[in-house]
Amino acid sequence: MINLIGTYECKVDAKGRLMVPSALKKQLAPIMQDGFVIKRSVFQNCLELYPMNEWNMLMGKVNKLNRFVKKNNDFIRKFTAGVKTIEVDTNGRLLIPKDLVSFAGISKEIVLSSAINIVEIWDKDKYEQNLDSSDDFAELAEEVMGNTDLDGLS
């Protein structure tokens, strides 16, 4: 499992290409040749970039769902809608497909935000709005992390 670190502001060109920042590229170097999967986020208007090995682990879990249960089938269809495989080209760029650029409302300025084992790709203004509009982070942190024993952490 990979643990990515950092938030990076960059630009996307008219064709939907973005230059992967060098600090992020260094972190991704060991897995770059395997490629990536890009998809719509479930909860936000952003995109999620999965290293291929992370995507394959996630799909292993999804593949265990019983497809003869309608809810499961509906989930699989919606979760995988718009999923594309992409690679970093020889110039260090990623091409974001146009339908996904549209979904995320990406203009020129974007933010690449590490989310542990994936990278979220946001339109810069939407990213800042999301951070500003979210509930009190201290309360959220306490609710999510405060009452659990995560392998002895408290």
Name the token pair of 82: 């718009």
Of 107, 135, 141, 142, whose CA–CA distance to 123 is shortest? Answer: 107
What residue segments make up the domains of the chain, in order of their start?
7-125
Q: What is the pLDDT of residues 74-125, one digit of tens each?
A: 999 999 999 999 999 989 999 999 999 999 999 999 999 999 999 999 999 9
Q: Looking at residues 27-37, what average pLDDT do you find?
A: 94
- CA-CA distances (angstroms) from residue 126 to 8, 18, 32, 134? 14, 17, 27, 12
Q: What is the pLDDT of residue 144?
A: 84
| pLDDT above 90 (res 2) | no
Average confidence (pLDDT) over 16-27: 95
Task: Provide the H-helix boundaries in the chain.
Answer: 22-28, 52-62, 70-79, 98-104, 124-133, 137-145
CATH number assigned to the domain covering 7-125: 3.40.1550.20
